[in-house]
Structures are given as C-alpha cells and as structure tokens.
Amino acid sequence: MKELSKIIQNLPQSGIRKLQDAAREIPDAIRLETGEPNFKTPDYICEAAAQAMKDGFTKYTAVPGIKTLRDVIAEDFGKRLGIGINANQIVVTGGGTMALEIVLGCIGNPGDEILVPDPSWPVYTMQVLSNGLTAVPYVMPADNGFEPKRENIEPLITDKTKAIMVNTPSNPTGAVFSEETVKMILELAVKYDLYVISDEMYDFLTYEGKHYSLKAMDPDGRVILISGASKKYAMTGWRIRYAIASEKITSLMNQLMVATIGNATAVAQKAVEAAITGPQDFVEFSIKDYKARRDAAVKIFEEEQVGFYYPHGAFYIMVDVACCHMDSEEFALKLLAEEHVAVAPGGTFGESSKQMIRISYGTEMDALCEGIRRMCRFIKKYSK
Ligand code: PLP
C-alpha cells in the first residue's frame, strides 16, 4: 500500500505520554508526570450538565459555540482584561489541542515559520508540524527565570516567520512573565508583523506578582488568546477550550471548525457556562491549595538541597537533574522503576531542558511530598 502521512509519522513523541503509559503498568506509582488537577469537577457544574441533558440539550450547536456561553466568556474576559470583547470574537472548540490546531490552520501557509518557546508544552511543536509549518524554538533561559529576552527571539525572525507562541504562566516552568517581557514580545510582533498565539490557560494561578495578559495589551488585533476551563474548574475530561481573537480571524476559524470538529460537545458547553457564571469558591479554594503544595514542595527541595527552579505560577516545578548525568527520559524511567514515582522528562519540552525533569503538583499533598522525597533520594543515589 502507498505510504501513510510522512508528517504524522515523523511527529515527535510526547515524553509525558510515554511516562503515563509506563506508570499505568505500576499500580502504586505516585503520579507527578501529568498536568491535571486532582479535584473532581464541582457539583454545581455537573448538575448543570445533567440538567441540560435531561432538557434535551443534546443536538448540534452553533459552529463557534452557543451564544450564551460566548456571551459569558466575552463578559468574563472583557472585565478581567479591561477590554471590549464581543461574542463574535470567540470560538469555543474541543480541548487545547483542537484550539491550537484551528488557530494554526487559519494563520499558517506551507513554509511559514512559527516561533515556539523552548521549553514548552510538547503539543505546540506537534501542532505546528502537523499543520505543515516549521517550528523554530526560542530559548527561555533558566537563568532569567525562564523568561525570554529580546536576544532570544529577534535573531530568529525571518521573512517566513508568521507567528510567535507564548505561554504565561508557563507549563512546564511555572514562570510568570513580567510586564516588560510581555511588552517586548508585542513590540517585536508589531515590528515584524507577527501574529501572537498566547496560551493563558493558567492565568488564574499566579502566586506572586501578577499575570499580564498579552491580549489585554493587543495593539491591533494580532493577538489570539487561548484559554479554557480544564485546569481552572477541574474539567480536563470535558474537552472545552476557547480562542479569543479579532473577528477577521474568528470568521476563518469558524470555516475550519465546519471542516473539522463541527462544534464542541453541546452538554460540555453548558457545563462551562455554569462554571463561569456560578460561585467561584472552588477556584479560590484550589488556588490556596496549589500554593500550599508549591510551598511544601519547595521546602523539601531546599531541605534536601536538590536543585530546582522556583515557580511563581501554574502547577509545575522544574528540577535540575544534571548531576545524575542521565538523559532525562532515562532518568524518568529509572526513577519510575526504582522508586515508583512518575515525572515528565525535561527533554520532551525542548533542547534547553534536557537536564531537567518536570513535576506537577496537581497531585494531592501527601502523595506529592512522598514522591518528592523519593525523587530526592534517587537523585542523591545517582549524583556523581
Ligand atoms: N495549554 C497548556 C499550556 C497546557 O499545559 C495544557 C495541558 O496540560 C493545555 C493547553 C491543554 O489543555 P486542554 O485540557 O484544554 O486540552
């Protein structure tokens, strides 16, 4: 038979998925590799979804999402970002990957280059490549708190550069970009006429400092904000994400939605609408809980004198494992086999984090602390 897609055959594998698969084989493994809240979706959200199903809300919806949900998102983001947003600037789609797929599909032409942070969530690079575009990594230097400097980005820009992807607060580093960094990126975007794809999934999770939204400072409609309910409302399985962009971009996205997903799941849209309009106590509680876990994790690393990078947002910590002289995937697989602790290998996020591993503190406190202690023991054992 003729050859299947070369592009898909050559896509890089996600090191996180590899560790997840390996961890499933070890039933008592402590799971620190996945970026997923340990909480259940709050009851008021599930009840709204159940009611919607009973009411027969089980049909196709408008392609960019139900108007009531888009109105609610527009109002929520408009208020928080201090800018005017209307429902036509919103496209509600499946999970994060689908939102990126649609955005990249609408802005890229074959041969275009997309600047991708290094380190970053591995799906960015996969999505760029699967759209037939070229991923150009820009380094987020660890010694600058994983915030990019102008010199990490500007020399990489060519005539083919179409967009820059940005993620603050960051997965995997927990970095929260300063206002200065955000302004620098937007300045470059204007100077070289680039679109900005800003993934602000963790905007609610900054423990120190402030989250600066690139969309809030969008000079002329070039910023596409991607956000969603997965982490904020513990709704990873509901698969809803949204993009906020100029109407010129969202009308093209609607076109691609027709050709791909059609519309996001009807009942999940109702659930997200309930999440945003309902009581926000769960979000407030979870922020405090994540911060307590971050503080407990940091304390153990400090006590054990194991090198790590202090995170100010999201729920991830990068740990320095250079002293073990192992490839990060080898480290992660060996740690899993010996100590029954699963972590994400740094190499999957980019070249610059090959000597690191990422832990997620989406896991509950006791397991998190036990997992970190075992990991510190392992690092000391193999440290040369
Ligand atoms: N964007 C970032 C930065 C993430 O860390 C993740 C998940 O880990 C996603 C997007 C995916 O979110 P979703 O559950 O909406 O697919």
Task: Tell me the one-letter amino acid at 323.
Answer: C
How far, in Å, is the centroid of ligand 1 from the Cα of 179? 23
Q: Which atom of ligand 1 is nearest to the CA of 240?
A: 15
- C-alpha 172/C-alpha 174 separation (Å) is 6
Task: Transcribe 20-32 into DSSP letters.
Answer: HHHHHTSTT-EE-
- C-alpha 240/C-alpha 235 separation (Å) is 8
Q: Which atom of ligand 1 is nearest to the CA of 231?
A: 14
Residue nearest to atom 7 of ligand 1 (CA): 35
- C-alpha 121/C-alpha 202 separation (Å) is 13
For the chain, 384 residues long, give each residue's pLDDT as a single digit of tens.
Answer: 999 999 999 998 888 889 999 999 999 999 999 989 999 999 999 999 999 999 999 999 999 999 999 999 999 999 999 999 999 999 999 877 889 999 999 999 999 999 999 999 999 999 999 999 999 999 999 999 999 999 999 999 999 999 999 999 999 999 999 999 999 999 999 999 999 999 999 999 999 989 999 999 999 999 999 999 999 999 999 999 999 999 999 999 999 999 999 999 999 999 999 999 999 999 999 999 999 999 999 999 999 999 999 999 999 999 999 999 999 999 999 999 999 999 999 999 999 999 999 999 999 999 999 999 999 999 999 987
Residue nearest to atom 6 of ligand 1 (CA): 96
Which pairing describes strands 241-244 and 195-199: parallel, antiparallel, or unpaired? unpaired
Residue nearest to atom 8 of ligand 1 (CA): 35
- C-alpha 63/C-alpha 257 separation (Å) is 7
**Ligand 1 mutation pick, 166, 227, 231, 290, max ligand atoms within 8 A of CB:** 231
Q: Which atom of ligand 1 is nearest to the CA of 96?
A: 16
Neighbour order of strands in the sheet with 316-320: 308-309, 316-320, 356-360, 344-345
Helices (H), the chain: 6-9, 15-24, 43-54, 67-81, 96-107, 123-130, 150-153, 179-191, 247-259, 266-277, 281-304, 328-339, 365-382
CB–CB of 205/315 below 8 Å?
yes
Q: Is the peptide bond before 27 cis (omega within 30 degrees of 0)?
A: no
Residue nearest to atom 11 of ligand 1 (CA): 96
Residue nearest to atom 10 of ligand 1 (CA): 96
How far, in Å, is the centroid of ligand 1 from the Cα of 377? 31
**Ligand 1 mutation pick, 121, 170, 205, max ligand atoms within 8 A of CB:** 121
CB–CB of 18/343 below 8 Å?
no
Backbone angle region of 231, left / alpha / beta, with phi > 0 → left and psi within -120 to 50 → alpha: alpha
Report phi then psi at 168, rounded to 5.
-140, 135
Length, in residues, of the chain: 384
Q: Which residues line ligand 1 (CB under 6 A)?
A: 35, 95-97, 121, 167, 171, 199, 201, 228, 230, 236, 241
Six-digit token string for 161: 């550069």
How far, in Å, is the centroid of ligand 1 from the Cα of 314? 11
How far, in Å, is the centroid of ligand 1 from the Cα of 225? 13
- C-alpha 109/C-alpha 263 separation (Å) is 24
Q: Which atom of ligand 1 is nearest to the CA of 120?
A: 3
